[in-house]
């Protein structure tokens, strides 16, 4: 599983990187999934799901 960020929607608020710093990093004011982020652990998957929930513009999705 991987996370995706819709760069057209992202407003760079940084919330996803705050709550899941192992999964998201802000680059040039836009969130980007960390390449090596592995969602196979329950903790990481939970953090990714939380980011999906809190993103104010619904820019994050999880790909199965």
Using the CB atoms, write b or e for 33-42: b if 16+ within 10 Å. Answer: beeebebeee
DSSP letter for each residue of 3-18: EEE-TTT-----HHHH
Q: Interface with ligand SF4 includes 52 (CB under 6 A)?
A: no
**x-or-dash string of contact with ligand SF4, 19-38, rule CB under 6 A:** ------------x-------
Per CB under 6 A, the segment of 6-14, 33-41, 42-50 that binds ligand SF4 is 6-14
CA–CA distance, 18 with 15 (Å, rounded to integer): 5
Q: Closest distance between ligand SF4 and the C-beta of residue 18, in Å?
A: 8
Q: Interface with ligand SF4 includes 39 (CB under 6 A)?
A: no
């Amino acid at each position: 599983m991987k996370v995706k960020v819709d760069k057209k929607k992202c407003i760079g608020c940084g919330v996803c990187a705050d709550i899941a710093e192992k999964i998201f990093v802000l680059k040039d004011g836009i969130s980007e999934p960390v390449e090596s982020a592995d969602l196979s652990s329950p903790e990481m998957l939970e953090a990714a799901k939380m980011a999906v929930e809190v993103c104010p513009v619904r820019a994050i999705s999880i790909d199965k």
